[in-house]
C-alpha cells in the first residue's frame, strides 16, 4: 500500500484501493468526497502538493 503514496503504478495501487472500497461498502460506509483532492496538484512538492491551510480543502 505504500506505493499509493509514492508513485503511480496502478498495478500496485489499484488492488488495495479496491479492497478499501469493498470494506467501506460491506460496512455501509460511503466513499469520501474526492472533490477537495482535485485542488492539490501532484506536480507540486514531489507529489505531496504544496503546504496549504486546511480550509483550502473544505467544500465550496
pLDDT score recorded for residue 56: 83
Closest CA to 38 of 52, 53, 57: 57
pLDDT score recorded for residue 50: 85
pLDDT score recorded for residue 22: 96
pLDDT score recorded for residue 17: 86
pLDDT score recorded for residue 24: 96
- Residue reference for cell 479496491: 18
pLDDT score recorded for residue 34: 81
pLDDT tens per residue, range 1-59: 455 555 566 677 788 889 999 999 999 999 988 887 777 777 888 777 788 888 887 75
Amino acid at each position: 500500500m505504500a506505493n499509493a503514496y509514492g508513485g503511480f503504478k496502478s498495478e500496485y495501487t489499484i488492488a488495495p484501493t479496491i479492497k478499501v472500497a469493498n470494506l467501506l461498502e460491506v460496512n455501509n460506509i460511503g466513499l469520501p468526497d474526492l472533490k477537495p483532492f482535485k485542488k492539490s496538484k501532484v506536480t507540486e512538492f514531489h507529489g505531496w502538493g504544496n503546504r496549504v491551510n486546511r480550509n483550502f480543502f473544505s467544500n465550496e
